[in-house]
Amino acid sequence: MPDIRLATFNCENLMMRCDFRRAGIRNARQQLTDVDSPLVAEQVDTAFDVLSEDDRTLTARALAATGAEVCALQEVENLVTLTAFDRRYIAEWTGSPFDQRVLHEGNDSRGIDVALLSRLPVSFQRSHARKTFGRLGVRPPVGLTVNDYAFRRDCLEVDVVKDGRVLTLFVCHFKSMHGGRRKTRAVRQAEAAAVRRVVSLRFEAPEAADWVILGDFNDYCEVDGQRVSDCGLGPLLDDGFAVDLAPRAIADPLDRWTHHFTEEDTYGALDHMLVSPRLAAQNPAAGMEVIRAGSPYHAARYTGFRYPGIGWFEPKASDHCPLVASIKFEGQALNP
């Protein structure tokens, strides 16, 4: 049975920062966003400086510390930016860039997308950014219609292959809490229902398949170690459709946080790995870790080692911490 090292990380505004006017290319930002070929992205990467130095060095170091073979990322601007980050920053800490990069343009008004880096072969990839509530048969939240897109960013579906076996990943980044957690919760609940529908359309018997839903869900099931009853992930978790890996992998509830809420000085997990019931049964004690060495010092609950250069608020690796787990899976044979 293969064992995969899998991470999820919100990189916080992994966006291009160069002055495109000085580059002398008309509409350069839009042209780079339109690049959807990994080969072209690598060629563009040799010509542009697109990332801020201090934060991105720390971001790359935190991601490298996961030791992951496959990394789900959130808040990445485009494939060119992802390629530059991988080749120029991550490779400095891991020794080599990742073999595969996946990004499809999503729906976010800021242009931040979900993405995947993999050292394992990617046998299938599909974006669900253009799926509407109506197409998925999901009831839209108040204020939206059946013709609206179901995902604020995307639900990126990717198959990775290890030892000839396939594991399916669904990379997500749900609606933020901006405007208030309770006021925005219905949107996240609708997104969760839409993800459930996507998984159910892929697998005839989802409970008997191997899959992981992971990413930044912008909602928590615990705050400061205390369970909450109004989590927006209910459509995925309430009836056991998916299983949150963290409570079974990290015993201390005070050690599961991946994000510090500065204004309220609270600690919660916005980043999750939700696995199928079959995968949960195969991993009764999965190894999981939160990498916090890139956290700013204002996240004072963490008192361990921090990377040189970390500041009180910035520089920092991100406002989130990478979450990484080692997961055993059986999966389907690539060519059954």
Which SS3 state, helix, strand or coil, does residue 136 take?
Answer: helix
For position 185, which CATH number holds?
A: 3.60.10.10
Determine the pLDDT at residue 268.
96
The CA-atom distances, in angstroms, between 293 and each of 134, 315, 317, 322, 325 are: 43, 12, 8, 10, 17
Contact indicator for 160, 122 with CB cutoff of 8 Å: yes
Question: What is the per-residue pLDDT across 241-298, written as a single tens digit (0 to 9) for each?
Answer: 999 999 999 999 999 999 999 888 999 999 999 999 999 999 988 899 999 999 999 9
Residue type, 46: T
Residue type, 17: R
Query: What is the distance in angstroms between the CA of the first residue and the CA of the last residue of the chain?
Result: 16
pLDDT band, residue 93 (cuts 50/70/90):
very high
Question: What is the per-residue pLDDT across 163-211, written as a single tens digit (0 to 9) for each?
Answer: 999 999 999 999 999 989 999 999 999 999 999 999 999 999 999 999 9
Determine the pLDDT at residue 34.
85
Contact indicator for 89, 82 with CB cutoff of 8 Å: no
Q: Given CA atoms 312, 318, 320, 321 in this order, what sign does their dihedral have? A: negative
Give the domain extent around 309. Answer: 3-333
pLDDT band, residue 215 (cuts 50/70/90):
very high
pLDDT band, residue 52 (cuts 50/70/90):
confident
Length of the chain: 336
Model confidence at 22: pLDDT above 90 = no
What is the value of pTM for the model shown?
0.95
Total domains in the fold of the chain: 1
CA 66 to chain CA centroid, Å, is 14
Q: What backbone phi and psi angles, to 5 degrees, belong to 281?
A: -65, -30
Determine the pLDDT at residue 285.
82
Determine the pLDDT at residue 335.
75
In this structure, what token pair is assigned to residue 42? 């690598």
SS3 content of the chain, % helix, strand, coil (to 5): 30, 25, 45
Determine the pLDDT at residue 239.
96
Average pLDDT over residues 1-7: 95
- Asked if the peptide bond before residue 336 counts as cis, ω within 30 degrees of 0, the response is no
Determine the pLDDT at residue 33.
85
